[in-house]
Structure 1
């Protein structure tokens, strides 16, 4: 069955298949769904049962965001949530379903959304403005700096699906520069959630934290690191494992593989300390100094561009401390545009999985 349509501007006529148009329309509605192909879990040899089908989807950072904020909003009338037409991808819709009068969809207008959030914050609200990390940090950098951080507005810009977690969507959707950009903005707290329980703690702690924040979320397939929401303090790292031979400083999606790499090295008698440096700004300088003095070797692992990221921040601290004999290396994505592909393949390619981190650690040792 076909239909004839006329372009209102050019006047040209075209014939289309109605059934095909309907199929495309249905696909457009479902594009935000996290399919196995786009997550890379359907690729033979790259499937990790602990972080795909076997994982409770409610224990995934992107999937507890709306639920946790909806719970917090029950007792805090200041909480409002905004999205740039990605309510399904972030599960901000879970908040909308329970508090529709405090949910705002700005459409595909990320800069406007952040400015709206700043205006709401000026009236006493605590807004959580969410979209893909690539859009939040790159498109919204000026609004985050000028409208949120500079006037110290309590806006929480939430960048979900960060790093290379949207592998097949390509460079426009990869977010490797956000940590480097955000940490250079004065009066902006920059944190990265490790898993669902950690995200709950970050959101709770953010409610009364002064000034603006950038909260980085992972790929939506992150395996569990914390059995329960940990106590968090912005500016203080969480020590997950003790060791005296090497310190692995990880953030966000790299924490779990860093722990696994530490376990592997431990079987060979190597004592590896693992720090979850979830607070990128402010940075836990004391934890870095202890690691340098007590282990003598530091490897920073991040799903981000190595230029000006967490590794650079740690290196700056080490340089300022001037501790002699410390061996230091930063490991992440080199200064290049990432190929298009499933995330699991990209993590393996850039040695951001446990095996890759173990290899880099051995080189440093």
Structure 2
């Protein structure tokens, strides 16, 4: 069973999906009732009234508080009960747990651990998100019926691309391209370069290089649940591997993973690109990325089904597993803390 690292910021939902209605979300096997206050802040409460455990998500909002739909107990954003029918004074012990939240990069984030350790300055934000040279293509909240660390393995692994994403992210003949990786604190970086090769399908039509390109793929995995893939292309021989990327296509695919339970997670994704927003190009890019992530989903869910079967087997490791092993070790360390 996977141990969870509780003292971390986890993606909860797209900001666009949280408003003045109570919605249910599940994170690290905890059920939450989530809504916006009248002032626009996001509240996240334990989704169970302490009277008879009626879900607060089937209650109603009373201003900034939730009224339980069973007997009318009402809880404010801090989780304190502010009204209990027939009781002129509500005991201090009448409360539900409240979870700290924050917003960044179009996402609502939630802190599932010790509330006093929640530091909103540490909520993830990629600098390019605020750079006017980049435009944002916001994606989906993809339900994946697999353990979130299986998805994390995938997002630490450039080598699967040539096999799983042949119509979107890969080009043939690059199976043996060298992959490098290193640990940087609670982050694992995995990278490889493809020198003098064709554009990948997803980049076709975005820029005419007049021939082959040098391509890079840098996978930045911030444990326990954030992956940012920096990938791009520049004309072959113009110095991209040495840092000259003045004339290039560059994108950042951001993956924010919400662990639901041991066998399911949500993959929130968006893409930043170093070109202006364009409705036609952006929709084509969104469609192609959606196709690629569905390919991952199909593979990961099939793996989970096999893992759930009773069988005797011994997992083998390949040289390409080094970054995934590092990532899982970091998550284990965070969980142990």
Same fold (TM over 0.5): no
Which structure carries more helix by proportion?
1
With the length of structure 1 as denominator, give the TM-score of the two structures.
0.27
**Counting strand residues as a fraction of each chain, which structure ranks higher?**
2
Higher relative contact order (CA 8 A, sep 6+): 2
TM-score, normalised relative to structure 2: 0.28
